[in-house]
Structure 1
Amino acid sequence: MPVRRNFKILDLFAGPGGLDVAAHFLGVPSMGIEWDRNACLTRYEAGLDTIHGDVSKVRKERFSEIPEEYNVLAGGPPCQSFSVAGKGRGRAQFDDLRELMKLMEALVDDHENPEIDKKLAKLDPRAALVLEPLRWLLTRNAVHGKPYDAIILEQVPTALPVWHEYKEILRSLPGELAYECAEPHVLRTERYGVPQTRQRAIFVARRKNADFSGEPTLPKGVHRSFDPRAAYDRAADAPVEEQTLFDTDPDSGPASWRSMHDALKVAGPHLSYANGTKPLPDNFVVVSNYGSGGDPKKRGRRSSHFPAFTVTGKVSRNVVLVNGEDHRRFTIPEAGVFQTFPGNYPWAGNDQSQQVGNAVPPVFAMHVLSSALGIPLPDDPIESALKWEPAGTERASELRARGCGNAHACTDRCPPQDDVKKK
């Protein structure tokens, strides 16, 4: 497949930079739109081009600020409405999902119809954000007469029906606007070198006339899947040599999954510890923050020689046991390593656990972007993503001046703090 180097990625829900970090290591420029000021502070410190704003408001009022050469649209809309770990309103009440899919069809017919916004206002506002990638696509068509060359979306598994609806809509667009779409699928991140069991629903589409070679595909796993059911009763006590518990899925790759211990060991030279905190020993056990089998008191445990539980915004509350005793909690950089962020990634602002938990794992995103855009992966994606070069004070201020309108503080064009807290 010929390599195209003229991609620029616009990430609608950029968070602290998981997809941007992946794009950086693939040599692809990116820009992110992010409403949370804490995540923006991290992005500025990391040197990531950012607009601090609400995705829908930027689309309506500031679309002209996005250069036309940003020809790849990506997004991971907020997932609390669909998340199993959250209250799951969208999961429990499928009426929202059905209504969203009806509104998607209405958007294609008339994306400026004010009645659509009135109907969306009756839904969970976070669920409504799942439609923003489609609205951005339709707005770009209207403004520039040319759609995005590729679209890449990720969400929690329960949003998979929405991605299937995206597939049907994008395939049926008229003429040069039509897309070829890979079959949406739920991917397990440990198959791509992420030392964590996490599942994401992925959607990839390419514009038919965008000079791609071949049909769009999702990445094949290069690591074997981890079977948490087989590990449940053995995580605390099984010797290391017995901890090779693999899922029997035939799509699994040839290499073993990566463990928490291995990830921390490799990242060690780039990790720093404050306030007298010392690195974790080789052998430790993590207690899950969530109950199992419907019993909130029944918490799963995993050895350090297993992948981590899914990293969520509560990762800093995970109890870490050493020799059966409460040792300490994970540091933010350690949690970031389980997400495959570089060990020295410059986390900033408040709510850093939430920032880490909300992010897409960069190494996983590298595989997705590589497959979606036909860009070769580095020989060793994990090795290539171990170290980051922070922006420095001057560059961070420059990015904030562009992203917020002021080099040192947010301005009136940034989302109000109250709005940020509500989301």
Structure 2
Amino acid sequence: MTSSDTPARFLENPYVLDLFAGPGGLDVAAHVLDVRSLGIEWDGDACETRYAAGLQTWHADVSAVRRDRFHELPKGLNVLAGGPPCQTYSVAGNGAGRKALDKVEKLIRALVNGADEEAIDKQLEKLGGDSRTALVLEPLRYAIKALGCPNRDGRPFDVIVLEQVPAVKALWKVYKDALEEGLPGDDGKKVRYEVAEVKTLHTEAYGVPQTRRRTILIARLAEHGTPPLPAPTHHVYNPHKPKRGGPEDAQAVAQAKAVQIALPIAGTVRSLQPWVSMGEVLKATKQQPEGRESSFEIVSNYGSGGDPKKRGVRTDRQPSFTVTGKVSRNAVRHADGITPHKPDRLLIREAGILQTFPPNYPWSGGDRSQQVGNAVPPLFGMHVLAAALALPLPPEERLRENWPKADDEERATLRKEGCGASDGCGPNCPRPEDQSSPSTSSASSRPRTGASAKRSVK
């Protein structure tokens, strides 16, 4: 099975630099594709998970690395990926990013016209409000920085892969125009990219047992040709019918799925599979906790249609709601809609499985619910990276295999590389007080770019 028609491989040794890497969703996808990756992550809890999972990590501020340590990045990095924090752009967030879209668009154009870093930083200061809004510029700033970096001999990234909430689609289109027009090279010449159509994709259309929308940008250096978007493999779930799954309509839910009650996907040629339900994937992984064998329904912590006063309900015969940082608050009930299930909340392991992480993925550190909710679903990441890099897509069952967790010695080595010390944080790590819980941190603290920050629906 492949996610798209893949031409001949054009990168012999792809090596991904994953900005805002979180607990490792895209890195897990890269691992299954046999692609190396290095993640930069601000949040210490997410880094603990990454070290436990054996993932190469820099515990650092993405902006600080660009300013002060870009020359220290490995020379072989040739794929730039990133999902900047989305809370200021999300409907569930504070809206600062949405209000500043036009200003951020002007800054993108200034960057590609050769504005220097200090000038851009001064303009960003004038934006005021939530400084996380500006982090959407970091991937572009990294792409431009690579062109003038002596350590890279001015070599650009061959591939750029970005993902964000649908509200950022307008900015990704500006990115697309800028990349196709060309970035300012160190020798004065423009470095041009070919960019796929900027499109909002549904993760359940790629086998993820969860309804989640992400807007994707995939770009390749012009010499590599125009990249495709990942082709869907499953139908998109219809959220309007059925809505409930109690005893009286459980059969109707099953019948509806049998006839693929789903929204059509434009341009689809191949035969699509039905969307995947929560119950199916939990059974397939053989990781159901005791008591979860019987049918259940989940009451979302978030409201339907953006209204927090309403609470949607999904049954185990349907895909999950978007897994967010508050997933552990979702009530789990029996199919009668009244009796609490046992366990009556999703376990972290279950939430990770709904995100398509391996069942034994070593979630570590604190705020694990937030870590799970912030991650890119690895199965979706596999489809996107495979399309971007022209790689065949492995069977999704690879994500249900046991994950090779790091032993104590390997963890210490990864921590030393990522933090500067084998048993703690070094001078390049964000300050511990800046990574405290969002509910207790000062409003003036540097906004977190990792797991403890992204509190919106992703």
Normalised to the residue count of structure 1, the TM-score between the two structures is 0.93
Inter-partner Cα distance in structure 1 for 2:103 and 2:246: 43
Segment drifting more, 106-115 vs 316-325 = 106-115
Q: Deviations over 1:66-123 (max 9, x none)?
A: 11210000000000011122233323x2xx1111110111112334242210221234
Q: Which residue of 2 aligns with 1:376?
A: 392
The one-letter code matched in structure 2 to 1:119 is Q
Q: Which residue of 2 aligns with 1:77?
A: 84
Inter-partner Cα distance in structure 2 for 1:235 and 1:5: 52
Q: Which residue of 2 aligns with 1:133?
A: 139
Q: Which of 405, 409, 416 is the equivalent residue of 2:420?
A: 405
Inter-partner Cα distance in structure 2 for 1:194 and 1:391: 26
Dislocated runs of 4+, deviation >6 Å: none
Q: Which residue of 1 aligns with 2:194?
A: 180
Inter-partner Cα distance in structure 2 for 1:254 and 1:272: 27
Inter-partner Cα distance in structure 2 for 1:35 and 1:169: 28
Q: Deviations over 1:239-280 (max 9, x none)?
A: 253241312334565101100001101112xx486xxxx251
Tell me: higher relative CO, structure 1 or 2? Use CA pairs within 8 A at least 6 residues apart. Answer: 2
2:68 aligned with 1:50, yes or no? no
Q: Which residue of 2 aligns with 1:321?
A: 333
Q: Which of 157, 176, 180 is the equivalent residue of 1:167?
A: 176
Name the SS for the 1:264 alignment partner. helix
TM-fit CA distance, 1:233: 4.4
Name the SS for the 2:423 alignment partner. coil
CA contact (8 A) 1:315 1:335 kept: yes
Counting only pairs closer than 5 Å after superposition, residues 243-322 of structure 1 correspond to structure 2 as: 243-244=256-257, 245-251=261-267, 254-268=272-286, 271=287, 278-292=290-304, 295-322=307-334
2:239 aligned with 1:228, yes or no? yes
User: Gapped runs of 5+ residues in structure 2?
Assistant: 1-6, 184-188, 437-446, 449-458
Q: Which residue of 2 aligns with 1:14?
A: 21
Structure 2 CA distance for partners of 1:279 and 1:88, relative to 1, 3 Å: farther
The one-letter code matched in structure 2 to 1:199 is R
Counting only pairs closer than 5 Å after superposition, residues 22-33 of structure 1 correspond to structure 2 as: 22-33=29-40
Aligned residue-pair number: 410
CA contact (8 A) 2:244 2:314 kept: no
Q: Deviations over 1:153-207 (max 9, x none)?
A: 0000110011100100011116561000001100000010100000000000000
TM-fit CA distance, 1:392: 1.2
The one-letter code matched in structure 1 to 2:293 is P
The one-letter code matched in structure 2 to 1:266 is A
Q: Which residue of 1 aligns with 2:106?
A: 102
Structure 2 CA distance for partners of 1:77 and 1:279, relative to 1, 3 Å: farther
Q: Deviations over 1:193-249 (max 9, x none)?
A: 10000000000000012xx3x521110100011001112245674325324131233
Name the SS for the 2:272 alignment partner. coil
CA contact (8 A) 1:243 1:306 kept: no
The one-letter code matched in structure 2 to 1:170 is L
Q: Which residue of 2 aligns with 1:335?
A: 351
TM-fit CA distance, 1:384: 4.4
The one-letter code matched in structure 2 to 1:110 is G
CA contact (8 A) 1:176 1:208 kept: no
Inter-partner Cα distance in structure 2 for 1:88 and 1:109: 28
2:372 aligned with 1:366, yes or no? no
Inter-partner Cα distance in structure 2 for 1:205 and 1:22: 18
Name the SS for the 2:285 alignment partner. helix
Structure 2 CA distance for partners of 1:186 and 1:294, relative to 1, 3 Å: closer
CA contact (8 A) 1:189 1:196 kept: yes
Name the SS for the 1:2 alignment partner. coil
Q: Deviations over 1:121-146 (max 9, x none)?
A: 23421110000011111111011322
Q: Which residue of 2 aligns with 1:203?
A: 217
CA contact (8 A) 1:75 1:133 kept: yes
Q: Which residue of 1 aligns with 2:162?
A: 153
Q: Deviations over 1:326-346 (max 9, x none)?
A: 221001010000100000000
Inter-partner Cα distance in structure 1 for 2:305 and 2:212: 18
CA contact (8 A) 1:315 1:357 kept: yes
CA contact (8 A) 2:356 2:399 kept: no
CA contact (8 A) 1:178 1:207 kept: yes
Structure 2 CA distance for partners of 1:19 and 1:111, relative to 1, 3 Å: farther
Q: Which residue of 1 aligns with 2:455?
A: none
TM-fit CA distance, 1:411: 1.9
Segment drifting more, 32-41 vs 387-396 = 387-396
Q: Deviations over 1:335-363 (max 9, x none)?
A: 00010000000000001011001100000
Q: Which residue of 2 aligns with 1:38?
A: 45
Normalised to the residue count of structure 2, the TM-score between the two structures is 0.86
Inter-partner Cα distance in structure 2 for 1:125 and 1:319: 34
Q: Which residue of 1 aligns with 2:454?
A: none
CA contact (8 A) 2:304 2:311 kept: yes
CA contact (8 A) 1:36 1:420 kept: yes
TM-fit CA distance, 1:321: 0.2
Q: Which of 228, 248, 254 is the equivalent residue of 1:241?
A: 254
Structure 2 CA distance for partners of 1:48 and 1:293, relative to 1, 3 Å: closer
Name the SS for the 2:47 alignment partner. helix
